[in-house]
Amino acid sequence: MTLAESAPLQEPGFEGRPARVRAELAEEVAVALAGSLNLRRTVLRLLDAVRPELGDWAAVALLDSRTGALSLFGGDDPGFTAMVSRRAVSGLDLERVLRTGQTEILHVAPETASADGLVGLVPHQALCEQAAALRPVDVLGLGLTARGMTLGALVVLRGQGRGYDEDEIVEAERLANRAALALDSARLYEERSRVASALQASLLPPELPDISGIQVAARYRPAIEQLDIGGDFYDIHGVGDDWLLTLGDVCGKGVDAAVLTGRARQSIRTAAHFERRPSELLSALNTVFYEDASDRFITVVCARLRPAPDGESAEVELAVGGHAAPILLRADGRVRQLEAGGTVVGVLPEAEYQSATVRLERGDTLLMFTDGVEEARGEDGFYGLDRLLSLLPTYAGAGADALCGAVEQDVVEHLAGRPHDDIALLAVTCGGAVAWQT
C-alpha cells in the first residue's frame, strides 16, 4: 500500500476526535514537556500529549548513549518499560530511524495486520500485540533528534484503518523535534546529576574505622545542607596501633571548597604513607598548597593516635596549622584546650609546625572541631569557645559519640534555625565509654 492510498478517512464512530494533526499540537507538546527535567516523566508526558490526536497508540524508544540499549515506554499501560539490546533491532525499520533520524512509515496490509507486520517499528512482543489489535494501516516511526543526535524514536499509529497523509507527517516530525529538545534536556540534566552525585560521593566524609580500645565519633553539618559537602573535612586512617586523624577547614563553602577538602584529605593520606609525624605532614601539605598559587588556604589539626595494647591509654602527637587547638576532656571532667598552634596551611612558602603530645587515659576524650562551632551565630551572639568548654564536663566519660551528639545539639539549639558555616566535629575516647551516669 502506498502513502496516497492510505489517506486518512473520518470514520464513523470517531467524530468526537480531531481527524488531523493540528499545527498547534507541536507547540502544546513542547509546553507540556518544558517543566520536567526527569527523563522518564518527560517521556510519559509526551506519550500523554500525543494521544489521541497524533495516534491512538504511542510508544517511545530511547537509546542509552553508553550501552546502546533501547528503553521502550508506552503502549496501553502507562507504567510499561522494557529494555531491548541494540542487536535485537538490527536491520529493523526502527534501527534505521535511530541511525538516520529519518521518519519511517510502515504500511500494514489489512489482511496481514498481525503482530509480525509491526515488529519493524515495535520490537517487543507485548507492545506489538497491543498495536496489532488496533488494526492500523500506517505505523509512523519518528526520529527524536536534538543537537544533531538521534536519541530515540516516537512510534505512533491510528486504529480502525486510519493512516497519515503527508501534511500530517510533516506536523508529526515538527512535534518530534520539539519533543526531542525536551527529552535531550532531561537526559542531559540526569547525566549531570549522575556525574555530580558520583563526585559528591567521593567527597563525603569517610566512614569511621573500628579502632581497638578507642571510641571514635564525628559529626558533619555542611552550611549548604542539600549539598552534603562543604569546606570542612575530617579523615581518619591507619592500621593496628598507629592512626592519623585530621580535621580541617578550607576557606569558602559549597562545591569549590569541597573539591579542595578532597585534595587536602588525599594529600595527607598520600603523605602519611611516607611520614607519620603530624608536624612534618603539615609542612608537606603547606608546600603543596602554597604552590597552588591561589588565595585558598586550609586550617587543619593533624593528630597521630597510638593506643596502648592494653587499651588503657593512648599517646597522641599533634600539630595544628592555623586551626583552633583540640580540647582535652578528662574522664573526671577537667577540661582544657591544648596549647598548640601553627600557621595556616598554604600561605607561606615554607612553614614549620611544632608537635604537642598528650596522653589519653581510660575515659579521656580529645575533641577536634571547626570554627563553625565557635562562630555559630545565635540570637545572643556567637556560640563561642567558653560555652563549649562549659558544656563538656557534663559529658566526661560519656564517650566520643555522646559528646559529639551533645555538642552538635547545643550548637544547633543556639543557632535556632539560623544559617551557619560548615560544622565538623571529630572525637576519640580512650577505652570507649566508661561507667557514666546522667
Partner 1 sequence: MELSVVIHRPGAQTVVEVHGDIDIATAPVLTRELKALLDQGGHQHLIIDLGVVQFLDSTGLGVLIGAQKQAASQGGSVVLVCTNPRLLKILRITRLHRVFTIHPAVADALAQVTG
Q: Which residues bind partner 1 (CB under 8 A)?
A: 231, 249-253, 293-297, 299, 322-324, 341-344, 347-348, 371, 375, 382, 421
**DSSP bridge pairs for 156:** 58, 140
Beta-carbon count within 10 A of 255 CB:
17
The Cα 297–Cα 289 span in angstroms is: 7
Q: Pull the grid cell for residue 169.
A: 507527517
Q: Pull the grid cell for residue 261.
A: 577538602
Contact call for residues 301 and 345 (beta carbons, < 8 A): no
**DSSP bridge pairs for 238:** 243
Smallest Cα–Cα separation from 56: which of 86, 100, 11? Answer: 11
Q: How far is the CB of 281 from partner 1 (least distance, A)?
A: 17
Q: How far is the CB of 299 from partner 1 (least distance, A)?
A: 6
Specify the residue, 256 or 275, whose C-beta has the smaller distance to partner 1.
256
**Residue-level length of the chain:** 438
Q: How far is the CB of 367 from partner 1 (least distance, A)?
A: 16
Contact call for residues 301 and 365 (beta carbons, < 8 A): no
Q: How far is the CB of 380 from partner 1 (least distance, A)?
A: 15
Specify the residue, 23 or 348, whose C-beta has the smaller distance to partner 1.
348
Specify the residue, 64 or 228, whose C-beta has the smaller distance to partner 1.
228
The Cα 296–Cα 430 span in angstroms is: 35
Q: How far is the CB of 414 from partner 1 (least distance, A)?
A: 16
Q: How far is the CB of 260 from partner 1 (least distance, A)?
A: 11
**What are the DSSP E strand ranges found in 85-137?**
104-107
Specify the residue, 145 or 299, whose C-beta has the smaller distance to partner 1.
299
C-alpha dist (Å) from residue 130 to 107, 116, 135, 152:
17, 12, 10, 21
Q: How far is the CB of 322 from partner 1 (least distance, A)?
A: 4
Specify the residue, 169 or 415, whose C-beta has the smaller distance to partner 1.
415
- The helix-helix angle for 39-50 and 166-203 (nearest 10°) equals 160
Q: Any alpha helices (H) in 204-240, and if so which ranges?
A: none
Q: How far is the CB of 291 from partner 1 (least distance, A)?
A: 12
Specify the residue, 42 or 299, whose C-beta has the smaller distance to partner 1.
299
Contact call for residues 122 and 106 (beta carbons, < 8 A): no
Q: How far is the CB of 353 from partner 1 (least distance, A)?
A: 10
Residue with cell 576524650: 365
Strands 138-146 and 149-157: antiparallel
C-alpha dist (Å) from residue 292 to 234, 256, 269, 349:
21, 14, 18, 11
Specify the residue, 63 or 366, whose C-beta has the smaller distance to partner 1.
366
Specify the residue, 322 or 363, whose C-beta has the smaller distance to partner 1.
322
Residue with cell 586512617: 237
Q: How far is the CB of 142 from partner 1 (least distance, A)?
A: 48
In sequence order, the 6+-apart residues with CB closer than 8 A to the CB of 113 are 132, 135, 136
Specify the residue, 250 or 425, whose C-beta has the smaller distance to partner 1.
250
Specify the residue, 208 or 385, whose C-beta has the smaller distance to partner 1.
385
The Cα 395–Cα 405 span in angstroms is: 10
Q: How far is the CB of 323 from partner 1 (least distance, A)?
A: 7
Specify the residue, 111 or 339, whose C-beta has the smaller distance to partner 1.
339
Name the 3-class secondary structure at 294: coil
Name the 3-class secondary structure at 428: strand
